[in-house]
Amino acid sequence: MRRRQGVVLTVLGAALVGCGVQPTGVIDAGEPASGLTRGMRLYFASDTGLRAVPLLDRDIRELGAALKLLAQGPTAAERREGLTTLVHAPGGYSVTGDGTRVTVELDGPYWSEAGDRATGQLVCTLAGFQSVREADVRADDVEVTIRPGEGPVLGPLGCAEFLDR
């Protein structure tokens, strides 16, 4: 019996000590993942660019509601983290989406420029919401066009051009 126990302990010890996996140093895996993530998120402005904030407690499917939430701005806790909104609540607007296309129709002029963070907030938020609404649409493929009541049409614009800054 003792001999059997000795053999078992020897085998277990050898298995634990000599499993063949050698220690390695730190392995560089490259840059962290970037781009749009799937799910309902509002994109707010920060000192370092745009930052996505997930909407965990809401199930919003209307694109117009996403724009309204974006204009309301971040919560108090999110503001303490340095987030803000640069999007102004438009007087009258409609937002429609079909596949990879989203169009924002404004009654009045657009409050910002094509390449600024406010437009990035709008484009990235709407692209993310559209991908949730249409299961087979990737957020990276959505293009947003802004049609003001007066002034030039902006777009189509993709979110990636605002996240790469």
pTM of this prediction? 0.74
pLDDT at 74 over 70: yes
User: In sequence order, what are the residues at sequence separation of 6 or more whose Cβ sits closer than 8 angstroms to the Cβ of residue 21?
Assistant: none
User: What pLDDT is attached to residue 3?
Assistant: 58
pLDDT band per the 50, 70, 90 thresholds, residue 35: very low
**C-alpha distance from residue 56 to each of 17, 19, 38, 64, 131 (Å):** 46, 44, 13, 18, 16
Pairwise pLDDT comparison (37 vs 81), residue with the higher score: 81
pLDDT at 38 over 60: no
Eight-state DSSP code of residue 87: P
Q: Across residues 140-150, what is the average pLDDT? A: 93
